[in-house]
Structure 1
Amino acid sequence: MPLMFYIYRAVTWLIGPLTSILFRLRKKIGREDGFRKFERRGFAGMARPKGLLIWVHVASVGEMVTVLPLIRKLLEKFPEAQALLTSGTVTSAKIANDNPHERIIHQYVPMDHPGFAKRFVKHWRPDIGLFVESEIWPNLMHRAEQNNVPLFLINARMSQNSFKNWKRFPISVRHLLNQFNLILAQDSHSCVRYEMLGAKRIITAGNLKYDTPPLPYKATELQKLNQAIGNRPIWLAASTHETEEVSVAETHKNLKDKHPGLLSIIAPRHPQRGESLVKQLTEMNLTIARRSENQTIKADTDIYLADTIGDMGLLYRLCEIAFIGGTLTPRGGQNPLEAARLNTAIFYGPSTENFSEMFTLMKDEDAGRAITTQNDMTDMVDLLLSDATFRKKLSTNALKLIDKNKGATEETLTAVTPFLEKKISR
């Protein structure tokens, strides 16, 4: 093993006592679950089920929503199996709890400490491990390898920025990547970058996000919001990050006279920012209705602040126009397909590195439009509100793009099935 791994292992051992302090700090800002804190130290929340156990690890909400259909297909194919789904965020745990399955167990992933990792793997003894997208944790992977758990990196992606950073540690990165029995890259750009970093077992399998079903919603909630909004012109700024809300507010102020009754909806990527956003937007002389407080949309409401978790399926069905957040600030962008799948006309800023190939395809197929500045946002919202034919063209092209790129789920099933069948035959 590379020297860097031993250094990492030693450092994570030494800072073990500090993890309690880190946990408390994260809990204060709503990023840890105090009731299940033991799971973050590798202690199990329940007994290991008997039989075949498929371990799937995701980072947060987006990856969890993406991988749930694959998990269900695996459980259909292997009726004797159970799935252990791990993640690291409170929001993802809520998604898992809101979408229960009798054969899926959710646990918080342990912090990447050698002792926590050992405790976790020793208890659960998974038969296979599927890490999703870019989840690479050296101690957890090392302990799994020590216990002969075959590992896969599925729907793997490598942005240009990540590639530049990883190139600084070529020996260590090559060692980590080749701990995976197979890497299934979601696009050709990621595949090439992984190969350049030294990955030996890698294929391009497509992006699981194209196979994901539409986000769920509550019909009663949609009906209630439609009744409150009536015929008002509306648009949505989805999964926004800091500073983007100001651009949305300025766009609203610029257009409210031209489009009487305009309602702008903001769904922040991190709902815990709701309190500070209310203050910020109120200081801009805007009237706010806050979803987390069950505040009603009234005739004079300028901004509906959807500072809640799990409502994107509802909001995309409510609005025909959506700005994809994390693109007007240098965050790399959020997943545009969630909106596209629900017949929404999409536009986005220049920061799209997290989903670069996806946004490139959208541009090539005229399935979404790019903007650069806040003034561009005003012009684009104005155009989309004014031109129903233009809205329809973008949303229709987006649906065609999704249909054209499906198939990653079957590719992934084909790749991992032989390993699971081998486990069963023993």
Structure 2
Amino acid sequence: MSFPIIFKAYRTAVSMLEPAVLGLLYWRRHKGREDRTRLSERQGYPSRERPKGHLMWVHGASIGETLSLLPIVERMTQRGLSVLVTSGTKTSASLIARRLPPGAIHQFVPLDVPRYIKRFLEHWHPDLALIAESEIWPNTIMALAERDIPLVMVNGRMSDRSYQRWQKMPGIIRGLLERFALCLAQTSDDAERLARLGAPRVIVTGNIKFDAAPPPADPRVVAHLSGLIAGRPVWLAASTHPGEESAIIAVHRALANRHPHLLTIIAPRHPHRGPDVASLARQAGLRASRRSEGIHPDRATDIYVVDTVGEMGLFYRLSPIVLMGGTLVPIGGHNPIEPAKLGAAILHGPHVHTATEIYEALDRSRGAVMVKDSATLARAVNELLSNAALTRDMARKSGEAVQALGGAVDRTMQSVESFIVQAKLGARR
């Protein structure tokens, strides 16, 4: 397999910088961003035996991408295939461990260092690699190509911002995309951008996140917390980022007199920020408690900070109104599909460029409303808290909009069928 000289230079440079990469890895461990007990997996060392027979490798970078791949993982294991699922974050690993079906195992993805990738592939020997969305790592792609392991991009996306950046490096992106046996794009715009950048074979299959099951929750815990907050007006701000919590707290203060016993739930995108969010609320004169401390919201709680992992299914079920974070600040917006499927009216800010299709569909259906700042957010929350019929109507429409966009998992499985058959027949080897 021949590669442009720039890829070989990149491989050499990363190999020479391996000690620095290892130092970064240990620094991340010190900061709590890596799992201390499984750090060796990031260096390509396996912590599990390879299952016998055919093995499919499925990779998602973080929580959203990895969870969206679960329906594909389930389909493959139902067919008797073993599946290796990798991700790169601690939170994704802890969630995936609870939800993987029998026949699938999780490992942390190795960093894009030649020795790490070689070690990883020599142990696992996958028959097929499925990479979610826009994960493009040169050394990994080269190593797969050299071993003649088919590589497929699933749920692929190429935002206009990324497209503009890659256009400045046409030779590099073309050399990488040419190594993908197939790119399955979320939208026709994504497909067009991928093709223009050099992907040789692109198919539009839709967004598999629309097909993902809503996050689970223990019915007993739902019932218990529902009883604790019964009769109180409640709204939730999910996956928030710095700069958003202050606006949310301002909304609570503005509405507290109009809606006595108002409970505002804030779930920061990164749970380790829980103490900071609670501190902001207390500085504003509000009573805040944190989920991670084992405290339940009582009648005295104004702001309840959900700084735990794997409980969004619970809190989406408790709140009829959900503001999606990452939209009031220029993050690009997080996935609103889960709260829509669980019966919530959706609010979001103007920054939704990473999930434009989803938010446009919700807005068109009137299952979601865009707000611009804390003032417009306060008006929207006030209207929904004051009008239960409007809230229920928005929730119904958001659920219908998401349901109408399903089917991507079926189309994805049909598109990769030939690779699965090839693996099962042993044609590649």
Question: TM-score range with shorter-chain normalisation?
Answer: over 0.9
Question: 1: CA distance between counterparts of 2:391 and 2:411?
Answer: 33
Which residue does the alignment assign to 2:21? 19
Deviations 1:190-211 (A, max 9, x none): 1121122121200100110111
The letter for the 2-side match of 1:104 is A
Work out which of the residue numbers 50, 53, 63 in structure 2 matches 1:51: 53
TM-fit CA distance, 1:100: 4.0
Secondary structure of the residue aligned to 2:69 is: helix
Question: 2: CA distance between counterparts of 1:96 and 1:82?
Answer: 16
Question: 2: CA distance between counterparts of 1:23 and 1:282?
Answer: 35
In the alignment, is residue 99 of structure 1 matched against residue 92 of structure 2? Answer: no
Question: 1: CA distance between counterparts of 2:380 and 2:303?
Answer: 18
Work out which of the residue numbers 65, 68, 72 in structure 2 matches 1:66: 68
Deviations 1:201-229 (A, max 9, x none): 00100110111111111112112211211
Conservation of the 8 A alpha-carbon contact between 2:235 and 2:322: yes
Question: 2: CA distance between counterparts of 1:342 and 1:214?
Answer: 7
Q: Which sections of structure 1, spanning at least 5 residues, go unmatched?
A: none
Identity %: 38
Aligned positions, number: 424
Question: 2: CA distance between counterparts of 1:168 and 1:250?
Answer: 42
Which residue does the alignment assign to 2:34? 32
Q: Which sections of structure 2, spanning at least 5 residues, go unmatched?
A: none
Conservation of the 8 A alpha-carbon contact between 1:30 and 1:272: no
Conservation of the 8 A alpha-carbon contact between 1:218 and 1:314: yes
In the alignment, is residue 116 of structure 1 matched against residue 116 of structure 2? Answer: yes
Work out which of the residue numbers 1, 4, 17 in structure 2 matches 1:2: 4
Q: Which moved more, 1:149-158 or 1:22-31?
A: 22-31
The letter for the 1-side match of 2:284 is M
In the alignment, is residue 170 of structure 1 matched against residue 170 of structure 2? Answer: yes
Q: TM-score, normalised by structure 2?
A: 0.97
Conservation of the 8 A alpha-carbon contact between 2:70 and 2:100: no
Question: 2: CA distance between counterparts of 1:88 and 1:267?
Answer: 21
The letter for the 1-side match of 2:92 is S
Question: 1: CA distance between counterparts of 2:5 and 2:369?
Answer: 47
Which residue does the alignment assign to 2:351? 351
Which residue does the alignment assign to 1:231? 231
In the alignment, is residue 206 of structure 1 matched against residue 206 of structure 2? Answer: yes
| 1:77-88 superposed matches below 5 A | 78-79=79-80, 81-88=81-88
Secondary structure of the residue aligned to 1:140 is: helix
Conservation of the 8 A alpha-carbon contact between 1:83 and 1:104: yes
Question: 2: CA distance between counterparts of 1:199 and 1:101?
Answer: 32
Deviations 1:136-157 (A, max 9, x none): 1111111111111101000011
Q: Which moved more, 1:182-191 or 1:5-14?
A: 5-14
Question: 2: CA distance between counterparts of 1:4 and 1:328?
Answer: 39
Conservation of the 8 A alpha-carbon contact between 2:77 and 2:104: no
Q: Which moved more, 1:305-314 or 1:96-105?
A: 96-105
In the alignment, is residue 370 of structure 1 matched against residue 370 of structure 2? Answer: yes
Q: TM-score, normalised by structure 1?
A: 0.97
Conservation of the 8 A alpha-carbon contact between 2:154 and 2:185: yes
Question: 1: CA distance between counterparts of 2:330 and 2:187?
Answer: 22
Conservation of the 8 A alpha-carbon contact between 1:333 and 1:354: yes
Secondary structure of the residue aligned to 1:38 is: helix
In the alignment, is residue 42 of structure 1 matched against residue 44 of structure 2? Answer: yes
Conservation of the 8 A alpha-carbon contact between 2:77 and 2:101: no
